[in-house]
Structure formats: C-alpha cells, structure tokens
Structure 1
Amino acid sequence: MLGRLPLSEQLNGFRSVLSKNEILTDVMTRAATLELPGWYVTAGCLFQTVWNVATGRPPTNGIKDYDIFYFDDSELSGESEDAVIKAGQKVFADLPAEVEIRNEARVHLWYEQKFGVPCPPHASTEAAIDCFAATTCCLGVRLEADGGWRVYAPHGLSDVFNLVVRPNPVLAPREVYEIKAARWKNEWPELTVLPWPN
C-alpha cells in the first residue's frame, strides 16, 4: 500500500501511477511549452488517476478535464487570461480531453459571485491549491526545465493513495465539498469520505 511507504517512495509511486495516464503526461509536456509563470497541472486529473489505478480502472476513467493553474499578477484583465487560454487551445487542440487554463491571480475577482464567499487575493499558485475544498485535491505537478517533476502536495499523499477524501475548510463552503464528494463517491464507491467538521 503506497500510502504507508516513506515519503520519498510515495513520490516515486505517485509519479509512476500518474505516468499510466498518457493524456496527463501529454498535457504536462505541452503545458511546459507555454512557459506560464508558476504553472501546475492540478486537481482532479491527478488524484482521480491515482484512484483509477488503485481500483483497477482505466487511468482516465471519470476525469472530466485537466486543469492548469498559473500565476500572473502583473496583468489581471480578463483579456490577458483569455489570450493565454487561446494559446493553450492551439497547443492542446488535438488532445482527446478538455484542458482548462486559469490565472490564479484573478480568482478573488470572481470567486464570491460563483461560490458565495469572498476569497482574498492569492499570493501564488501554491496558495490557490491550498484552498481546494478537500485536502485530497491539494496537489500540483509540473515538468521542470531539467525534465524532472515538481510535486506540490501540502497535505502529503497518504490520503490520495488510501482513497480518503478529507475536508479542507479554509475557503470553499461546506456545500461545495459535499457536492464534489458525493459525485466522486458515486464514481469511485471505494472512497472513504470524511464529514465536514462541525
């Protein structure tokens, strides 16, 4: 069980498992060519690949999109983000998957309208990843210039490997967590979903 191994072995296992999702590794390779500041492939495509491999499903099962976060606070206009999204659409055009690119420096401008709670401006892509509704989601991976992988996992990898969904009540409302967790549990019944704290 990978979740009970030393962290260095967990990291090796994480990379090995993610590499089984060829769409994911292709997204990472192509994303690197965009040279976006502070970018990561993040969220569902990572932990859901692990869940799929751990439960004997095809690596891409149930993954609805591949999220790329970057951080550019030098230009907060929607037009600037749209230009990056359009550049990405060309890079990912022939992939059999949806790729979503977002500038995390802009999240505070729209978050409250979408989720009903204010979001202070993020200081980095990592800070944005820290705010996902479940700690299990707080993951980011990117290719470095030397070909190595940079893995950001502030809550470690044990819950991901052990199929545990744990709430992260720092920003997203309880309802967001419970809706996501219910959808995941429906797709991966093997999950253990922990309740939102009272």
Structure 2
Amino acid sequence: MTNTPITDGATARLGDPYGACEQQRCEHLATILCAVPHVMQILRATRDLGLPDAWLVSGGIYQTVWNVLTDRPLLHGIKDFDVIYFDGTDPSYEAEDLVIRTVNTALPDLAHLVEVRNQARVHLWYEQRFGRPYRPLDCSMDALTTYAARTHAVAARLTHTDELVIHAPFGLANLFGMRLVPNYGQLNPETYAEKALRMKAQWPELEVVPWQTSEQRG
C-alpha cells in the first residue's frame, strides 16, 4: 500500500479513467481511509463483531474522500456511515435490530452516525417505503449495483490481518474525479436528482452528470 500523498496532479490522474489503473485508485483510497480514525474504528468494530459479509459502503467512504480532496472537515456533509451485512438465515426485523444494538454498543461515540442494515431483508420493506419493488439480493455486494449513482457504489472492509479490501463494481475514477454519474441499472431518477442536489450544495466542486432518458441515451 502506498503512503504517497495525493497531490493535485495525482488526483487529476486518478479521476481520469485513462490516467491511472484501478489498483492505484484502490491503493490511494485505502491510504485515505486508513488515516481517518473514525472510519478505521467502524471498520475494526464491524470486523471484530463477526457480522456476515459486512462492509462499510457508500457515503461514509466517497464523502470522506471528497472532504480530504477539498480540504474540508472529515465529517463535513456526512449524514451517516452505512454498514451493511448479509444474513439470510434470519431476515426478521428482530434479528436485524439486535445487530444494530450490538454495533451501537461497540461504537458508543459513533452510534448516532452509523446505520446498519441486513441486505437479506431489504426487499421485504423497500417497496412499502419507496413505492418501487426491489429484488431479493444475493449478497452484500449485490446491493452496490442497485445504488442510484455509480459513484456511490464503493465498499470497504478490514480483514483479520488488517488488510483493507476495496470493492467498487463501477470503478473509482468518478469518485476521485468528483463526478456523480447515474446508474441506469436501477431506474431511479428521482432519488438521483435528490442526492445530486444535496451533494452539490455540500461539495460545489462536484460535477453532476444529468440523468438521461433511454431515448436520450439512444
């Protein structure tokens, strides 16, 4: 893992899909996350609790990076840190609630910022809450493909040998390039527009790629 600080030139290369390889982006992302105490605290607690297929995902990662890149306070604009896990053996609310309370106990200083969800039960409540059906997921990483923006689809977890594992099905160039890019695999333009508006207000440097209809995309 490299400890080379990200300069403006290096950031530009990481944000260019052709300017760096994905391994370099993963290494830089790991370097940033390893230097943020509260992120590492969440990753260690999640690992040590032994939650199945558990990852820190989405905003707590990419928004942390944006704050580092723009020299803002580390918690600027971050609503929560999403911890996901997958336990299909018991998709009940009661089982998930027990895990939530266990994580909160392990992270008393961060409990108000950590949101824990069992991905094996999202399809059971999603349509009632958001008005759209949601297919059952196969694993935690399957959830990343359903996020409204490709930029959001990033996950990290810590192994028992303290190796930071990064997963980003759409790559990390948009994260480092501060570009919000739609995910057309999940037809959710309303959520995309809502998130884009909030994020642009928090990070004015952000480039928002407009959601296009299928006709506009050709």
1:100-139 map, 5 Å: 100-139=115-154
**Partner SS, residue 150 of structure 1:** strand
Alpha-carbon distance, 1:56 to partner: 1.4
Range that drifts further, 155-164 or 167-176: 167-176
Q: Please give the secondary structure, in 1, of the residue aligned with 2:143.
A: helix
Instruction: Pick from 77, 89, 114 the counterpart of residue 74 of structure 1.
Output: 89
Match of 1:176 in 2: 191
1:16-65, Cα deviation, whole Å (9 max, x unpaired): 12233221111111111111110100010100011111111122211121
Larger Rg over CA atoms: 2
Q: Corresponding residue for 2:69?
A: 54
Residue 154 of structure 1 aligns with which residue?
A: 169
One-letter code of the match for 1:184?
A: M
The residue aligned with 1:28 is 43
**Residues 36 and 50 (structure 1 numbering): CA distance in 2 closer, same or farther, change over 3 Å?**
same
Query: What code does the residue aligned with 1:47 have?
Result: Y
Which of 53, 78, 82 lines up with 1:63 in the alignment? 78
Give the CA deviation at 1:94.
2.4
Normalising by structure 1, we get a TM-score of 0.95
CA distance in 2, matches of 1:29, 1:97: 17
User: Secondary structure of the residue that 1:79 maps to in structure 2?
Assistant: helix
CA contact (8 A) 2:88 2:120 kept: yes
Flag the 1:60–1:20 CA change in 2: closer, same or farther, 3 A. Answer: farther
Structure 1 match to 2:113:
98
Structure 2 residue identity aligned to 1:186: A
Counting only pairs closer than 5 Å after superposition, residues 1-12 of structure 1 correspond to structure 2 as: 1=11, 2-3=14-15, 4-12=19-27
| 1:183 counterpart letter in structure 2 | R
Map of 1:14 onto structure 2: 29
Is 1:88 equivalent to 2:103 in the alignment?
A: yes
Runs of 5+ in structure 1 lacking a partner? none
Please report the TM-score for the alignment, with normalisation by the length of structure 2. Answer: 0.87
Q: 1:40 aligns with which of 10, 30, 55?
A: 55
1:132–1:172 CA contact under 8 A, matched in 2? no
- Structure 2 SS opposite 1:141: strand
Q: Tell me if structure 1 keeps the 8 A contact 2:79–2:113.
A: yes
Structure 2 spans left out of the alignment, 5+ residues? 1-10, 214-218
Are 1:43 and 1:137, in contact at CA under 8 Å, matched by a contact in 2?
A: yes
What RMSD, in angstroms, separates the aligned Cα atoms of the two structures? Answer: 1.3
Q: Which amino acid aligns with 2:197?
A: A
Q: Percent identity?
A: 38
Aligned residues: 198
Deviates most, 13-22 or 143-152? 13-22
